[in-house]
Amino acid sequence: MTMLRLVLEYDGTDFHGWQAQPSVRTVEGVVRDALLQVTGEQPRLSAAGRTDAGAHSHGQVVGVPLSREWEPARLSTALNAVLPRDVAVRRAELAGDQFHARFDALSRTYRYVVASRDARAPLLRRYSWQITGDLDVDAMRDAAALLRGEHDFGAFGRAPRPGGTTVRTVEDIALRRVAAPDAEGTTSFIIEVRANAFLHGMMRAIAGAVVAVGLRRMTVADLAAMLADPGSAQPVTVAPARGLHQWSVTYPVVGEAAPVEITS
């Protein structure tokens, strides 16, 4: 067996998420179809994360076990020749036989893009959440800072398995202002979160809560209460999937002291 590690980039707009499902178009589904066409095999894939319908990835990591030996660059080229235009293999490399893209990951980084503009923004609609009104950026940064560290994030998402823990560790979180491609009249922000793992819906709920604080629909104290008592927390607006970008995944390196971050 040959185990390969693929790094994928995709525009999630026209996909029903990562995970293969009958009768709908998914990223895993088109990757499996491409692998069958190129290799004649239908391997069971592992992925670093199951992105939502409409969400995008710049560095999705996928483990691909194949019975036949493949040179990574050759496989990457062959797959890109048959994959649809909204998916690309950015990189392929050999991995250990027991590699699992999800369980071996040390941390994941997601970015959420918010565009503040009163007028309609057609050029931003596929990849960001457009909001109207002034944002209190200082309050947003204060809210984000509360989320750093180990907390019960039960108010922000659900565990992958019923009854699983909702405790997660946010290793870093940042709010950055960025230049928008259409410039005048638009202020764009990236909410970037690195965590050991994410609950289902957690990143979009974090983005929704931070933006709600910026729009003065929630307070920093409200956010603190969500962490202190998730069971009685007020519902939070979950940000739309189109602004969510899976950015990178960090893995240990066998025989080296430092982990490696796998990104686009």
pLDDT digits (tens, 9 = 90+) for 106-116: 999 999 999 98
Q: Is the pLDDT of residue 262 over 90?
A: no
Q: Give a yes or no: residue 40 inside a domain.
A: yes
Please say whether the beta carbons of 156 and 236 come within 8 A.
yes
Whether 134 and 241 share a structural domain: yes
Whether 185 and 97 share a structural domain: no
Whether 84 and 123 share a structural domain: no
Q: Give a yes or no: residue 176 inside a domain.
A: yes
What domain range includes position 29?
Answer: 2-104
Instruction: Provide the number of structural domains found in the chain.
Output: 2
What CATH code is carried by the domain that includes residue 139?
Answer: 3.30.70.660
Q: What is the pTM of this model?
A: 0.92
Please say whether the beta carbons of 174 and 192 come within 8 A.
yes
52 is annotated as an active-site residue:
yes
Whether 94 and 137 share a structural domain: no
Whether 87 and 136 share a structural domain: no
Least confident of 5-9, 102-106, 234-238, 258-262: 258-262
Whether 91 and 71 share a structural domain: yes
What CATH code is carried by the domain that includes residue 99?
Answer: 3.30.70.580
Each residue's pLDDT tens digit, 26-61: 999 999 999 999 999 999 999 999 999 999 999 999
Dihedral pair phi/psi, residue 116, rounded to 5°: -100, 115
Whether 157 and 67 share a structural domain: no
Q: Is the pLDDT of residue 140 over 70?
A: yes
**Which residue among the candidates 52, 104, 118, 134 is catalytic per the annotation?**
52
Query: Domain end: 63, 87, 104, which one?
Result: 104
Contacts of 162 (CB under 8 A, 6+ apart): none
Mean pLDDT of the chain: 91
- Angle, vertex CA 191, rays to CA 187 and CA 196, nearest 5: 170
Whether 11 and 130 share a structural domain: no
Each residue's pLDDT tens digit, 162-188: 889 999 999 999 999 887 655 566 788
Write down the pLDDT at residue 256.
47
pLDDT tier for residue 257 given thresholds of 50, 70 and 90? very low
Query: Which of 70, 75, 69 has the alpha carbon at shortest distance from 91?
Result: 75
Report the Cα 57 to chain-centroid distance in Å. Answer: 6
Write down the pLDDT at residue 235.
77
Beta strands in the chain (DSSP E): 2-10, 46-47, 56-66, 87-94, 107-116, 129-131, 149-152, 167-178, 187-195, 244-251, 260-263
Query: Domain end: 78, 104, 130, which one?
Result: 104
Each residue's pLDDT tens digit, 71-121: 999 999 999 999 999 999 999 999 999 999 999 999 999 999 999 888 888
Please say whether the beta carbons of 122 and 30 come within 8 A.
no
Q: Give a yes or no: residue 238 inside a domain.
A: yes
Query: Domain end: 58, 82, 104, which one?
Result: 104
Each residue's pLDDT tens digit, 211-249: 999 999 999 999 999 999 998 877 788 999 999 999 999
